[in-house]
Every structure is written in C-alpha cells, then in structure tokens.
A and B are shown apart, each in its own frame.
Chain A
Amino acid sequence: MVEVANAPAIRVTGLVKNYGEVHALAGLDLEVRRGEVFGLLGPNGAGKTTTVKVLLGLLRADGGRAEVLGLDVASAATEVRRGVGYVPQEITSDPYLSGRENLRFFARLYHLPDPRARSEEVLRQVGLEDAADRLAKTYSGGMRKRLDLGVGLLHDPELHILDEPSLGLDVEARVRVWTHVEELRKRGRTVLLCTNYMDEADRLCDRVAILDRGRGVACDTPSALKDGLGGDVVTLVASERDGAPPPDWAKLLGGLPLVRSVLADGLRATVAVEAGDRALPKVLEATVAASVPIASVSLLRPSLDAVFLRHTGRRLAEGAAAPAPAAGGRRG
C-alpha cells in the first residue's frame, strides 16, 4: 500500500459540508494519531456521521481537506477504504444472508486470501459461531451489531471507524462493544469512535474532540478536558479515635503538589486538586505516612458533560450517560 507510514492516521483541515441550508460541517479541524483511540463526541446532528462519510470518500466535502493514513481522500478513496474498517451507525448487514454468508461476502470483496477461514475466525471473535447459519434478520439487535463489528474486522485494517457502535444496545451488549474497542487498542490499531455517550468517550478514549454544529470546540485527553474546568475534589473522612484530636488537615495536605486548597471540617477534609487521578495517591500517601486512619475517600471529577456545557453553553444530551435504548437518540 502506498500510504505514508509516519503521517497521522487522520488529518482533517477546515472541512466544510453543507446540505442545502444545513451547515453540517463548518470548518472542522482534527488530527488522530496512529495507535490512539480517538473519540468524536457530540450531540445529535453535530456532524459526526458526516465527518465519517467524508473520510471514507462517501461524501464529497464542499471545502477543506481530509487525509486518511497519509492519503488524500479526494484522490485516493479506494486505497483509503482498503486501510479502514468501517462500522456504520445503522445496522447494515444483509438480512437475507446468514451471519457466515455476510462475512464471506465482505471477505471476498476485500480480496482476502482465504475468505472462508477468515470468516470463521471473525465469527469466533465476535461470538456468533452458534448463530452463524441463521439469517441475519433473525438476530437480535446486539447480535447484528456484533456482525457489523465483525465485518469491520475482516481485513484487519490499521484504522477502525466506529460510528456510535453502542447506540441502542442494552448494558451487556454495550460492554461487549467496549471490550471490542479495548482489544483493538491492545493490538495497536487506531480507532475513531463517534459517540454521544460521554461515559463511553471517557472510559475508552485516549483523546476526545468535542463536536458541536460542525465545529470542534475542544480537543484533548478526557482528564485534561475536565481539569480545564478547575480541577477535581477529593473528600477524606478520618475514622474517629477516642480522645485523639481530628487530624491537622491543612498541615498534612496543604503543601502537597497538585493540591490547591484544603478545607478542614473536623474529621472531614475537602481538598481541591488538579488532575485528581494523579493527586489522589499523593493525598493518600501523606495521610498514611501520618498514620491517620481513613474511614472514606471519594474523588469527584467534573464530567465531559460539564466540559460540553462550558464550551457550548448547552447540555450534551439529556440522560446521554445512561445506557438507555435509542429512544430519540437516532436521527430520522
């Protein structure tokens, strides 16, 4: 393949796409590094699917430039498609073929050396061996999604684009999708994950771009995005010891790196920190070193929802964090 090995997996500059009056993409910039799981987080209609379609050469942009694996999508769409595994937002496997036939069909279209053997491997990988000979139309929603995930795995591409892979799935099926993404990460693949669930972006992604009305409003690691809001809060409660005075929280924790302020209230300390994930161990070490027995600890981090609120003045989506079925989540 003629792809450029050290180019970023995806580079998008000033991408514009209009559907008549609707400005689906209004100058989007994006860079996805090789080997990272990159989240495209945005509410319904933000332009996630439009971005994906431009990246695969399924839609022509009205302006700007999109490069995938170092290739210009506008001029080398076929090579780009060879290097990308795509799992669309809607379920797309052929309902009138069995799971096995679906996989073999796509394996042949990717010109794999042994389509049959590869299809069997993928059937095992997505856990559909037992249902392999049933027509896809008899599958449950979760099973069909797994079949689509399997189609995206067939040619074991370097870049995987998953468009809202857990939309409308129940909790168990969502967890399966998450495991799927984790496995891709372990194998060193690059993943572009579109989602409007912030818990999903938070737990899976190395970096997240927040998309709103066709523009990127923020892009960083989930923790950096949340730190940008003014940090996290660690709350400590010491166990009561007969006769002993409450710990001197200010002296104990005040000087630690990453700690911004300490509010002592008897046995309870409310500690404002930067980067809670790194600060928490330091705080605990200090309390243990001073032999203060701890009754409870909690770390409160602002959510990506709060990040979205900060950048756009709106909520991401009511209840989007819940693994609720697609009710209202899907556009027309």
Chain B
Amino acid sequence: MTAAPPTPSVAFRRETLAQLARWFHHLRREPFNVVFTLTQPILWMLFFSSLMQEAKLPGMAPGTPYRDFMTAGVLTFTVYGNAMSGGIPLLFDRENGFLTRLLATPIARSSIVAGRFLYIEAVALAQTLLILGLAALLGVSVRTGVLGVLGIVLFGALLGLGLTALSLALAMWVRHHGTFFMLLGTLGLPLLFCSTALAPVDAMPTWMRWVALANPMSFCVDAMRPLVLGGGSFGRYVLSAAGLLAFDAVAVWVSVRVLKGKLA
C-alpha cells in the first residue's frame, strides 16, 4: 500500500502542506478565535490612540498625530501576540496525545514546525493588511505606498519568524501549559512598553532605553514607522533588518536545539 517514499524534499513539502491544511480546518471550526485576534489590535488602535490623541512625546516628529505614530507599534505588537501564541495548539497537541500519534508517522519532524510557521505567517499577513485598512479609515495612510506595505509585511515576517520559533520551542519545553501562559502574560506588556512601539526612546528613562534598543520589537517598529510616516533612510532599514536577522538566527538556533531533543 505504502507508495515508494517520495524524495525527501517532495515529502517535506507535502507533509508541511497537509499540516498547514489542518490548521486552516481548525480556523474554519473556530472562527471566533480569528475575530478575537483581529479585534485586539483594532481596540488598541481605537482606544489607545484616542487616549493619547494630544500626546507630544520627545523624539516624535512635530506635527505627527499620535495615531499615525502608533500605527507601526500596533502592527508590531500584533505580530508579537500572534507569533508568541503560535505554540499554543502544539501545546495542546502534546498534552492530548495527538503529537505522539503524529510523531509515530514517518514524517520529517521539521514539517511540524514548518506547517505551523506558514500558518502563523498567513494569519499575520491578513492581520497586517486589516490593520492598515483600518488605519486608512482613521486617516492614516502609508506614505511610502505599495512598496511600503510590502516592506511592512516583510519586517513583520522577520520579527514573526524568530518569535514563532521561540514560541514553538517554549511549547515543547514547558512541563505544563500553565507555565506557557504565565510566561506569555508576564512578558507581553513589559516587552511592549520597553520598546519603541508606543513611545520614542527619547521619552524613556535611561535604563528603559537600553532595554528598548536591544528589544527585537523595536527593530521592527523602527523600520515600520518610517514606512508608514515617510522620511526613512536606507541605513535605518538595513540596520533594522540586520538586527531582526540576528535575532532570528539566535531564536531559530535555540529552538532547533530544544525541538531536536523533544521531537525524538
């Protein structure tokens, strides 16, 4: 019955696609989940920008409405939330035994990670476009045009890659899902506030600046912000891309080590 095994690369592609399809089945079954993940950034956009409407922070270009300023931050935080929760279904697969059954099939272990990763990237793309659409309704247009939108998607993907890798590794590493959620809840807000997402570094106390400068979220925001507002420099983008790639390299390296041990 078993067909001659296809070449490893064909096999890997098919296994990844089968698993990607499974995640989309789940999405179809739990549409409220999607609505919910999409609502969160919308609420940020609406409430936080209304609250801070009059804010003039040191380091903000004069005349920039806060709403326009924070668009890049909301985009980044959405990527963060989405990527960091990417490991959750794996956590449940692991706890209810599905993962064991999956591992008993002759698939490449990496296809489990690849399938999940592609799914998260697809959702992130949809969210990014949605937020940009909403921002446009609120009067924030991407000054750098279509190329800028592409750039925003790309930088989001770069941040998402490393974070997803960490999330998947964390899902395999924790002993109990409670730990995972606790870590996620504890890390989220400090990382958001200690980044340039909501305020420029100039508005921060010194210790916070150092954290913000090393925070991968800031790399992403600092590239996305000029893409939204205009006035970016090539050097700025290269620096952000380099920072994010370095973060990805470390994150993927750590995750591969963890996953290799766990996905026996």
Contact = CB atoms under 8 A, between A and B. Distances in A.
Contact of B14 (A91, A96, A108): A108
A108 B104 CA distance: 14
B264 A58 contact: yes
Nearest to B111: A109
B101 interface: yes
Contact of A157 (B2, B11, B100, B107): B2
Interface residues of A: mostly helix, strand, loop or mixed? loop
A86 B103 CA distance: 11
Given A56-B104, A105-B18, A108-B14, A94 B2 contact: no
Contacts of A57: 264
A110 B25 contact: no
Q: What bracket does the count of chain B residues touching chain A fall in?
A: 20 to 34
B5 A86 contact: no
Nearest to B11: A111
Interface in B1-59: 1-3, 5-6, 11, 14-15, 17-18, 21-22, 25-26, 29-30
Contact of A96 (B5, B21, B30, B97): B30
Nearest to B30: A96
B206 interface: no
B264 A109 contact: no
A88 B22 contact: no
Nearest to A53: B100
Given A94-B22, A111-B11, A155 B101 contact: no
B30 to A, nearest CB: 7
Given A110-B2, A155-B2, A156-B1, A59 B101 contact: no
B14 A151 contact: no
B193 interface: no
Interface of A: 1, 53, 56-60, 78-79, 81-84, 86, 88, 90-97, 101, 105-106, 108-113, 118, 135, 148, 151, 154-157
